[in-house]
Amino acid sequence: MIAIILENNKEYVSPVFAIRQAGWQSEVLAFNKERSHLRRIKMWHPRRQVFIVDWEEFGCKKSVWEGYDWVLQNKELWKAVRFGKKAAIDDFPQFKEYSKEVILPEWFKLKDERDILSLMNVSMSFHDSVPIRIDKSENNTEIEFDTTWGCIITVKFEGVRATELVDRIGIIYDSVVQKTDSGYLWKVPCFDPGEVGGIVGFLPVSGEPYIECDKIEWSIKIGKSKFCAETKEYDSLYAFYLDLKSVSKDVFLKEDKLILHHKNDTLIIEEGSKGYKTTLNGRKERGQWEEQDIFEYAREFLTQVNPEDIKEEVLLDVISAKPLYFWHYMKYAFLFAVAWAFVGVLILFLTNFQKGGVLVAVLFFALCLVTIIFPLCSLVNGKEIRYIITPTTIYYFNGNVSNLSLNISQIKDIKIYRSLIKRGTGTIKIKQKAGITFGYGLIAINDAEKVYDLIRQKCAF
């Protein structure tokens, strides 16, 4: 596994010896820029700073990490890299043979499934990508994508035999690359129609954009295009308002506030000292959005999916009823609470109920209550989680709104973990073909096996 890594806004290339896939908390074990030390590097901090250009399926897993067996089993190494520390190569000479400079090719060629995984991983399957240039010459097509994930990817489709609707793409939300008997097929099953350059028109398009060709090559450049930066930075709320008006007519500018309506929800956006402040249904949200992100957040609000919006056949509609899986979530909180309470009682007896001992015991009992109350409040106040499965998509509804969905064709692996607490309860973990663990934990009371079997039937492993 090879990655381009950003360190103080400067790039270098390093082998990756292990990876922890945990969404925004993902990490890799790799060299520093000087290749003198090994360290754990966050892939997002807060922006993306690790770009894996040569993906590899590791055969060994230990706890939350995947990597080479000889790396994961080295206890001294992991002790050395704990808490942000670095491990000197001189102390671990087995890594010296890997510390030579890695030269990447200008163009990466697709030859097998591993090469496809590498492209789809580094591009995030071109999710939220904007085609900013399309050049066609004879039987070749070259497309430049601003991925919005911190890199620009250019793809050459050579020996194009068939293509359609590629110039009608505004923004891509999902794409697929498949190896065929005679070459490759790239298709875009989920997108907003528009024009090259991220201009979204929302005019209906019949069919999916695709390119069928003999060969595919791609190159990567770290950074964002000038176009993308310009379209997502606003001199005033009025310019922001005009952009959002192209997404939905339910956008209003009033008294230095943007007011967005979507069915029964209202989102208010206003400028703050450190970014954009948002208020959802009268409740102020934590944090402030940066200019580069606020448009995507507002667009997702205006285009969110409700169950009645789904036009496909619904194969399964599962609600994780909170009362039934209460213990499934609270078991660890209860165990910690009992442990704190036991320590508090022990302190009381050991100090013969003296004043100092009583105060310490009270502190432990308070920690016991906090351990239970916080997760309990979060569980009680949280909305029901609902999963709707169609022949092509899994929708995740938090309450009655979905901003998350997964194309079933992108599932690489699926596993079920049966609960020991209640019969029929199961957690289903899904891994995408791009190597990313999908953020779904399907807790389906009495339906875990049914959900698992249904998804497996629809997957093309």
The pLDDT, as a whole number, for residue 234 is 60
Instruction: Assign 63 to helix, strand or coil.
Output: coil
Domain residue extents for the chain: 2-98, 108-227, 233-302, 309-320+384-458, 326-381
The pLDDT, as a whole number, for residue 331 is 64
**CATH number at 309-320+384-458:** 2.30.29.30
Burial class (CB in 10 A: 0-12, 13-18, 19+), 286: exposed
Q: Walk along the chain (461 residues) and give the pLDDT tens digit of each residue.
A: 999 999 877 899 999 999 988 777 788 999 999 989 999 998 887 678 999 999 988 888 887 888 999 999 898 998 888 877 888 998 998 998 898 888 999 999 999 999 999 999 999 889 888 899 999 988 999 999 998 788 999 999 999 999 998 888 888 888 999 999 889 999 998 888 888 877 776 566 778 899 999 999 999 999 876 555 444 456 678 878 887 887 788 999 988 899 999 888 899 998 887 778 899 888 888 777 666 567 777 877 887 777 888 888 899 888 776 655 566 556 666 777 777 777 777 877 777 777 677 777 777 777 677 666 766 665 565 566 788 889 888 888 876 667 667 778 778 788 887 766 567 777 788 877 655 555 556 767 677 888 888 888 888 66
Burial string for 297-311 (b: 16+ CB within 10 Å, else e) reads: bbbebbebbeeeebe
Which residues have a Cβ under 8 Å from the Cβ of 106 and sit 6 or more positions away? Answer: 219
Q: Could you give the CA distance from residue 155 to residue 308 in angstroms, rounded to a whole number?
A: 37
The pLDDT, as a whole number, for residue 307 is 82
The pLDDT, as a whole number, for residue 216 is 95
* Backbone angles phi and psi of 337, in degrees to 5: -60, -45
The pLDDT, as a whole number, for residue 308 is 81
Sign of CA dihedral 107, 110, 115, 120: positive
Q: Which two tokens stand for residue 286?
A: 């934590």
Q: Give the Å distances, CA to CA, from 98 to 1, 94, 115.
A: 12, 8, 21
Q: Could you give the CA distance from residue 337 to residue 331 in angstroms, rounded to a whole number?
A: 10
Count the Cβ atoms, other than its own, within 10 Å of residue 314.
12
Sign of CA dihedral 386, 389, 395, 400: negative
The pLDDT, as a whole number, for residue 16 is 95
* DSSP letter for each residue of 389-419: E-SSEEEEEETTEEEEEEEGGGEEEEEEEE-
The pLDDT, as a whole number, for residue 231 is 43
